[in-house]
Each structure stands twice: as C-alpha cells, then as structure tokens.
Structure 1
C-alpha cells in the first residue's frame, strides 16, 4: 500500500520544476498518441495518472497561497497560473486525444466497467466544451480567453484579500464595545501607550462580532461600509470576466455562459433553474416580510442593512432567551472536532488517528482515517483565522483514491480550512454554533472526497460530480449539528466538562429557523443575480442595475448605494460557482430529503445512513448524483423537504 504524498512546496524551484513536468507530460502524450492500437488501459489510464501527478505537484502551491499568503506565494502562483492554464487548455483542445477517446469509447464501452465508461463520457463532453472539435483559429482564441480568465480570477481574489487585510477600526471608548462577548473582546484588545484599545477588522470573526454585538450604530455602519465597498478595482475585472465568458460560450455554440454552465450539471435548462429559484422566492417572501416586521419592532429607527445582525441578535434573545456567548464555552474547538470524529465513528464507523508531522502552520493538524480498521485516507485541518489566510471556509482535495500504473491503490487526502477565532496560550478557540455548522459542512465535503472507493481518479471522490450536486454531502452532514444526540457528544463546557443542558439544546433547536425566510431571500438574491448576470455580457452600470432590479424582489431592507457586493462575490468571480451559485439550493433539496429520512430512522440505527456511505460516499463521481439519490431513496427528491428544513410554510 502506498504512503501518502508528503506536503511540500519549494517556491525557489517551483516554476522550473513545473516546466520540466509539463515538458515530460507533452512528450508522454506524443508517445501515447503514436500507438497504433489505443485502448483504455494503454491510453486513457496513463493520461489519468499523469494528470493526478501534476495535481499533486501543483495543489500545495495553490493551498499555501490561500492559507499562508505572502509576496513569495503570490508571485510564484501568479507566474505559474498562465503556464498551467496554457498547458491545460492545449490538452483540452487536442483533437487527436479527443478522437482517441471517442474511438476507445466506441470500441470498448461494452467491456469497460461503469467507472471507466463515465471517465470516457465526461472526457468527451469536456473536450467538446473546450472546443477540441473547432477550427485552429477558434481554439487559439479560446486558449487566450482561458489564460486571461485565470489571471483575472486570481487578481480578483488577491484584491479582496489585500482590501480585507488593509482595514482596521481602532476603538478606545469602552462604551462602544459594551455588550460584545468577552471572547471576542479578548481577541480585539491590545495596549498602546498605556491605553487599552480594541482593534476590529474585516476578518470574519472580528467583523461578525461587531456587526452582531457592537452598540455604536455609526461604527457598525463604518465597518459595514468598509466591508461592502472592498476592492472597487474588481468592478473592472467583473466587466472583463463577463465579456470573456460570454465570448467563450458563443464560440462553443451556446447562447450565453449560463447555458454553457448547465451542460455539465444536473439541471437541464436555464428555465428550470430560474423556475426553481422563483418558486422558492414566492414560497418564502410572505414569511420574510413577517420576520422583518418583528425585527423592525426592536428598533426605534428605520432598520438599515448594518442594523439587521445587531437587532436580530436582540430579537433572538428575546424570543428564545438565547445568547451566543452562553453557548461558546460549550463549543471549544478541539472538543468539537473530537466530538465530530466520535459522531462520524458512530454513523459510518470511521476512526480518526492523529498524525505527527510538520505542516505549513503550527496550528495545522492531520489525521488518518480508518474504516473497519482499514486505513482509507488522510485529512489536514487548518481551522483558525490569521492575516495570511483568505477568508471563508473550504475543502480542497489533494490526493484522490485511485489505482496507479501497477494497479496498486493510492489513498485519498484533503484539506479542511476554516477561519475560527484564534486560540492563545491564555484562551482557547471558542466557537459560535454557526461555526460548528460550518465545520460539519466542510467535513461533509471532505469525507465525500476521501471515502470514495473508486479506482479511476477522474471520477473518484468529488471529481466528476455535477457542480449543482456537489453541496449535497456537505449540507447533509451540517444538518446534524442541530441534533440533540449529536450535540451531546461534544458540547461540553471547556472549564467544568459539563455536558450542555437539555434546555440549551432546545433553545438552539427552537431558534434554528429564526429569520430563515429572510436568509432564504438573501441566498436567492445571490443565486438569481449570478444566473441572470451570465445570460448576456453585462458591463459597467448594467451589473449594478441588474442587482438593484433583483433586490426589488429579494431585499426587504433597502440596500445602501455604496454597497458593491458584487466586487466581493468571490464564489462566482474567483471560485467555481459562476452561473452555478443556485447549486447550493438545488443540492439542499437532496440533502434535506435524505437527512429527514435518516433522522426518522433514529440516526445511529438508520439503514439510510449506512446506504449513504455505501452509495454516495463510496461512489464518488462514478455515476450521476441523480442516479445515486434514486438508489439511496428509491425515488426522486422532494422539493418540499427544503421548505420543511427551513421552517417555511
């Protein structure tokens, strides 16, 4: 059994090493193409293995650039991006490889297994979506577009990170921090010239703390304004990206980028996506209006966008007697992580064993995963916020479960990254319950990748999964973070060891769907904006005008004119969610439906949970998620489960 690849990245030699790998790959491809009798074993498998090795080399750099960002990682990553993009584009447009895949599929589809046929089908589709079958001039233009897009997306992300790190608000008046939880104040507090001061930034834990608890309305607006007006230079990048995506789609024979995007997703048409989103909007709006009325009653002045989190917290306490600060001592980070491991052990028989190895940061850790006493994979955790790490939370796959040249099994690994409050030698990292939900969400992605038992890397783990289904496993797992049986496994007071009382759990359960219809409208705003934005080449003021038009239906509190949310919408301008943000809601239908089945069966006695491991997690992307869901549930997904999950009637 092969060991895991050591995490390493030599920035000094990276570009030379990358060029050497790509040169060797190109020579190997030329040799493979010269074969007279090309088969899956002699042609497709070697290319898959070659691609996997390239991923293993490149992923540590992209990971470091996200979690330990520096001038050196920025420069190396920026230098590498056009090189790897040009190579990938050339491969994806190679007509000879495309024809070889089609020929092999026709000759061997009856004798290949479903994993191998899926690899061929997805590759053939991928080649066609890359324009492999088009003329030389069109392919040249598509290659130029791909390189430029990758540069722009990287610049968008870097601009956002720089703007986030550049801002800080220093507060000296104690009255302006009254009511902010002690754990948040501890992280903000510092001494200067004998004066106690408090530093608030746009890093998520700090930003959320002041927007939720900060008593000074003017300061809340100042911090909010700084957050929603970050990186104005990204407006120009948005215009360029939209134009390039639209041109690319037209060259490939699609009316627009949204139509192009759906070619590889579960949803079958732009109309079906917009109809799905519109139905959720109509079902949620009346309840959202009632929620807003209740919220407005908490304030003597008209509610503004920078007031909603503050007054929501007050209303939540009033309705449910719930105080986030009461809960945080029960959600000490290490206890939550270990409790989540125990939960996954009871649900899926996964055992976690800590690995002693040096990683990119002293607070990063790694664990080997065993199922039925058999080593299956490795997970790397990097959970605390720091200036060198980009915001948000994510799973990034590293190794993929597959077979190598000799037929030996290669094990999977992945990174799980969050931005939780930082621990110090004097204070532990105490989480909000929302942080616990986030951890479960990303863990759902992680085990989806690393517990796959597929032998072909291109359809193993999260590879090959339709983009509008990839959130199904993450959302499925996050729902358990509200279940009393699960909470009692890890919610223990970090000082006394007391298990969280039943009445506190009940408060969490009762408040789960607090302002849920309003939250639904906000997510629908993002989804509709993203999808409609990619139906034509919007530019300049048209982008803002479209967002304003959508907000007339979705934003019940008028948004300030200085709010340029789009300039920070990294999911669609720096990530993989362009014309696909709707996927969160699309997949949530699947996750809600499966979750309720497991809960109804008793969670730990659930046959559906065991089948989920064997069908969805084990199967990776080797079949369509629609097919897996039908195998799991015996029927199509029920949209009403999503409304039920959100308490929307």
Structure 2
C-alpha cells in the first residue's frame, strides 16, 4: 500500500531524477498531440508525472537535510540548476498553457477541485512568463537558475558557519546550567562543548552564568556567514528583476499574487495594527526585566543578558523553570501521549509499523481514521550533527487519484532536533519542544488527512503560503492545555503524573514576555516585506532594518548584529515577502483554537467538522473561504490578542 523509503545509493536516485525529467518531456509531447484535450485525458496524467518527479526529488532533498554529507551536498547542488531549468521550461510552455486554457473554457461542469487545479496552473503559467517574448523568457529562466543556486549557497553557508563554531568550557564555566544540559554537552575529556546549534546555544544563553561566554556565543551567532551579505544583495536584485519581467511593480507584489493577502500595503497595515497593540506592553515587559536585572546588580542590560535575566525573572515570578518539566516529558511517553491526544481531539489513530528508515531512531506510523488506513508518517526527532537544525514537515507523497482511478495515499516526514538520549538518561524534552512537535504534526495532519483527488491541490499542495501555518499553529496551542498535558506528562522514573501546580504555572508563564516575542516577529515580517518592495544593496538592507527596529522594536541590538545574514526563511526558504504569514495564519488558528477550548477541548462532532472543512480540503479551496466554512464568519483579531495575552 505504501512505498518503502530507501536512503542508500544517492547516485542511483540522481539518475532516476534525470531519467524521469527526460521521460516526462517525452510524455508531454504525446499529451500535446491529443486532439481534444480534457481534464481526464490531459490534466490528470500531467499531474501524475509531475508528482512522480516531485516524489523522487523529495527523497534527495530530505536526505540532504537529515543525513547531510559531502555526497548529498554535491548531488543536491548538481541537481538544483537542472531542476530549476526543467521547471522554468515547463512553466513557460505555451502549448501546455493553451491546452489548460482550452480545457477551462470547454469543460464547464468540472468539480471544484479540478477547477482549482486549472485556476492555479493558469495563474502559475502567467507568473512563469508565458506570453513573454523568447528573449524575456530566457532571461527569466537564467535568473531562476541563478536564484536557486544562491539560495542553496546561502543556506549551506549558514550551516557551515554554525558547524564551524564550538567552545569548550570547564566545570566552573558551566555554573548555573541544569544537569540535563551539562550531560548533553559533556565530552570524554571532561570539558563541556557548546555550539551555535540552537539547542546548545539557547541552553547557555538561558542558564549560563558567565557573561563573557554568553557574549562570545551571542557574537558568534549573530555574525554567522558574513559572506551572505553579498549573496543577499544579489538575491534581492534578481527577485526584483524577476518581478519586473513579469509585470509586477516589486517582488512583494509578485509574492502576494499566490497568497490570501491582497497587497503589501494591506500586510503592512495588519502588522502595524498589531504593533500598536503590542509595543506598549513589550516596553513594560522590557522595563520589568531591566529593573529585575538591576536588583541583581546588572545595570546595563545587553542582548546577551536578555534571555538569561528573563529566565530568572520567570522563575521568580512563577517559580517557572523549563528544566523541572523535563523529567515529566520523556520523548517516547510524549510521542505516545500525543497520539492519544490526537485520537481524542480529531479521531485519528496512529499504528506503528516496521519499515526501512534512514536512521535507527526514526519511527514510522500509519494513520487510521474510522477504521480506514489513510496515510503514513515518519518521525525523525533526535538531534544529529549531519542533520540540519530546527524542525520541519516534509511532504513526500500527496493523496490523489490518477487517470485510471487508482488512489495514491499520502506520506510525510516530521523532523526535529530534540535532545538525544545518553547512557544515563533518556531524551527529556522541554515544554517548548512539545510545542514544536505539535506544530509540525499540525502540518503533517493537514497533508495526511487530505481527501482531495487532485495531486496539485491535495494536502499542503496549493495552500496559500499565508495560510499554510494555520493547522500547525492551531495544534501547537493545545500543548498548554491541562487536559492534554495530563495525557502524557509523567515522570520518567517514578511514573508520577505532572503536578497540577506545574501545569498552572506553565499556562501562566506561556505568555510571559509574549508582547516582546510578538514585536520581534512583527519586526522580521515588516523588514521582509519592505526589503522586497525595492532592490536594496547590503547597506540599504541594514538601513531598512534599523528603521523597522526604530518603529517596532523595544530593544536595539548592537551594530555588528547581522541577523539578516542567517535569515534563511526568506533568503533560502519559501518565506520571501511572506514572513508575515506566521502572524496572518495565527489569526485563523487563534479563532479555531478557541472554538475548541470554548467547547471544553474534546468535541468529536466539532472535530469532524474541522477535519472535513479544513484538514481534508488541503489546497482545493481559497484558505479564507475554507476557514469561513468551518467558523461561520471572518476571523476576529481579538482572539489573536487573547492568545498572546495582550488586552484587546
């Protein structure tokens, strides 16, 4: 029923991709000879062959992320320009475009899924440069090939810089760190190793008492990959050229052509509106930290002090300490409990299966709904050096029905970088790790529960970028619900359930300094939108960032902080002129979440309604329309403010 995932023999996978591209080109020639193209005889097989190629590419890009080595880097880098050329040629193919137009005009009784495929494809053909003269098309193609190479370089530079930095500390220098963090960092020679990989970096910044070492780590982190400054300049210039060739005034306008938001101005207005609400509260929060630090003898608060004193204040205000939760959040118990939660919340069952995996610690499950096996999920949650940092969901195969009526089932991977088990203790998670797990599972469920029969709009395919975070943010909110935590938060040694007082504290602490977190996200989002409204050079990028910080931020970092050089979301990911999507989607997720909470959390009728109107529909409808189908009206900004603990 499901294909096996094989991680060996990358050169063979590379050959398969190259062969598939060639056979697709030949197949398209035969499709174009069809006298009367229809959705059934033309669009269906076209979707199938492109999906098959996408599945093969996912295997290599996935392995490059989870088993990154010289071979995977070389092969992936070699494939990128070829793939970019393939997709550019495809997107500019006038004959396919006119076949799609013909089908759209002649077949008036298509269902909404098929209509959405045609609508998206015709829009994307136009965005790819169909209708442009030969010279302009070629220019666009070259720009995109260059862009894909630059983005890959940008990402690799950040990874290389992150891997290149390490400091080794003595027992005295790790004072203040929780035992579990010391165990993770301890080396065979008795020293403690700290790096810029996030779990390690954030551990020292949060608990490390040695201020000089915090500064050293902070400086290393915010000055990574300085060579990316020039790459960023070229990326922005290429994006601007691309937009102009396609008839858009700026790249921001081009980016929004495939999103729910209508214009850069509308996005900026939304961000500014939130900033007006959040900034005064963020200022109060910062003053609280400053006066608290002063009490402890620290008069000049610097960026490398912020997390440290914030954590101390949190402990004092709520007796909240992420560390005391970790013994109650043993990874295996959390995973099993999460599955119990998802069954109670959404009626989804997870059954573990044995199948080939790329790493022994990877787990695999089939998803069963109402007795029917619907999809497959792989979980790869432990930190490894050859794995890129952070967490993500990677969709391997979508749910669809091919032209013969055969149904293919979806498969996805959820990847994270949680602490590894050691000889003396199992993998113990922080509450923030549980939030991450729920978030990525939200993406996975959006993909895996799809009932859409057209591959291009099934699961996360075809979902507008500013709505794709909706199901993930919706699910992560439940990580703070007492009714959810009691399902799996049990002490790994005594099996005692987590005390109620801990849960109450955690819920109170959730919105601790949340307005500062909100303004930070707004700063990133507005900066992203503004730099894509022009083609700034490296100096001008900094000026825009400084200006945005003046308007929104409450704590200005030092001049040498070049966070933009490692802002992979927008320079090497899909968030260019789209970083605002996190907050936009949070608006939808907050409203949906409270609709469950206000019904007592577990309500299977409401859940079935959510599953059928949102999760099973994937990208087959406009995200805002699907939201309204579920919610019955437009989202309300008050729910977003309530979620962040900010008074409306």
Give the TM-score of the pair, scaled to structure 2. 0.98
Give deviations 1:462-484, integer Å, cap 9, x for gaps.
01111000000000000000000
Name structure 1 gaps, 5 residues minimum.
none
CA distance in 2, matches of 1:607, 1:278: 38
User: What does 1:398-413 align with in structure 2 at a 5 Å threshold?
Assistant: 398-413=396-411
CA distance in 2, matches of 1:314, 1:130: 52
Q: Displacement, 1:22?
A: 1.1
Q: Displacement, 1:176?
A: 1.8
CA distance in 1, matches of 2:114, 2:603: 34
Residue of structure 1 equivalent to 2:96: 97
CA RMSD in angstroms comes to: 1.0
Give deviations 1:168-191, integer Å, cap 9, x for gaps.
01112x232111111110011123
Q: Displacement, 1:115?
A: 0.4
Which of 375, 378, 385 aligns to 1:377? It is 375
Residue of structure 2 equivalent to 1:436: 434
CA distance in 2, matches of 1:335, 1:507: 22
Residue of structure 2 equivalent to 1:145: 143
Q: Displacement, 1:384?
A: 1.1
Give deviations 1:198-232, integer Å, cap 9, x for gaps.
10011111111000000000100100110111111
Residue of structure 1 equivalent to 2:106: 107
CA distance in 1, matches of 2:259, 2:550: 29
CA distance in 2, matches of 1:607, 1:378: 24
CA distance in 2, matches of 1:574, 1:407: 38
Residue 58 (structure 1) aligned with residue 57 (structure 2): yes
CA distance in 1, matches of 2:615, 2:168: 47
CA distance in 2, matches of 1:619, 1:544: 41
CA distance in 1, matches of 2:278, 2:188: 48
Residue of structure 2 equivalent to 1:463: 461
Which of 444, 447, 450 aligns to 2:448? It is 450
Give deviations 1:538-595, integer Å, cap 9, x for gaps.
1121111111111112332221111100011010011000000000000000000111
Aligned length, in residue pairs: 643
Q: Which moves more between the two structures, 495-504 or 352-361?
A: 352-361
Residue of structure 1 equivalent to 2:75: 76
SS in 2 for 1:370: strand
User: What does 1:381-392 align with in structure 2 at a 5 Å threshold?
Assistant: 381-392=379-390
Residue of structure 2 equivalent to 1:19: 18
CA distance in 2, matches of 1:610, 1:14: 40
CA distance in 1, matches of 2:149, 2:339: 39
SS in 2 for 1:442: helix
Residue of structure 1 equivalent to 2:233: 239
Residue 220 (structure 1) aligned with residue 217 (structure 2): no
Residue of structure 2 equivalent to 1:296: 290
Q: Displacement, 1:266?
A: 0.5
Give deviations 1:362-416, integer Å, cap 9, x for gaps.
1111111111111000011111111111111110100100012321110001010
Q: Compared with structure 1, are the counterparts of its residues 348 and 69 closer, same or farther at alpha carbon in structure 2 (3 Å cutoff)?
A: same
CA distance in 2, matches of 1:354, 1:273: 43
Give deviations 1:623-646, integer Å, cap 9, x for gaps.
011111111111011111111110
Which of 129, 132, 143 aligns to 1:131? It is 129
1:170–1:198 Cα contact (<8 Å) kept: yes
2:344–2:604 Cα contact (<8 Å) kept: no
1:304–1:557 Cα contact (<8 Å) kept: no
Q: Displacement, 1:502?
A: 0.6
CA distance in 2, matches of 1:350, 1:121: 32
User: What does 1:215-364 align with in structure 2 at a 5 Å threshold?
Assistant: 215-299=209-293, 300-364=298-362
CA distance in 1, matches of 2:595, 2:604: 8
SS in 2 for 1:621: coil
CA distance in 2, matches of 1:9, 1:531: 41
SS in 1 for 2:561: coil
Residue of structure 1 equivalent to 2:84: 85
SS in 1 for 2:11: coil
Which of 180, 184, 187 aligns to 1:183? It is 180
SS in 1 for 2:367: strand
Give deviations 1:325-368, integer Å, cap 9, x for gaps.
11110111111111110000111121111111231111111111
Residue of structure 2 equivalent to 1:499: 497
Residue of structure 2 equivalent to 1:611: 609
1:347–1:610 Cα contact (<8 Å) kept: no
2:397–2:412 Cα contact (<8 Å) kept: yes
Name structure 2 gaps, 5 residues minimum.
none
SS in 2 for 1:191: coil
SS in 2 for 1:298: helix
1:9–1:61 Cα contact (<8 Å) kept: no
SS in 1 for 2:191: strand
CA distance in 2, matches of 1:6, 1:380: 10
SS in 1 for 2:349: strand
Give the TM-score of the pair, scaled to structure 1. 0.98
Residue of structure 2 equivalent to 1:198: 192
Residue of structure 2 equivalent to 1:522: 520
SS in 2 for 1:429: coil
CA distance in 1, matches of 2:311, 2:7: 44
1:168–1:202 Cα contact (<8 Å) kept: yes
User: What does 1:484-633 align with in structure 2 at a 5 Å threshold?
Assistant: 484-605=482-603, 607-633=605-631
Q: Displacement, 1:5?
A: 4.7
CA distance in 1, matches of 2:275, 2:543: 20
Residue of structure 1 equivalent to 2:645: 647
SS in 1 for 2:368: strand
CA distance in 1, matches of 2:574, 2:220: 26
1:471–1:583 Cα contact (<8 Å) kept: yes
CA distance in 2, matches of 1:629, 1:39: 31
1:468–1:580 Cα contact (<8 Å) kept: yes
Residue of structure 1 equivalent to 2:3: 4
Q: Displacement, 1:606?
A: 5.6
2:466–2:580 Cα contact (<8 Å) kept: yes
SS in 2 for 1:538: coil
2:399–2:450 Cα contact (<8 Å) kept: yes
Q: Which moves more between the two structures, 300-309 or 375-384?
A: 300-309
CA distance in 1, matches of 2:20, 2:604: 48
SS in 2 for 1:426: coil
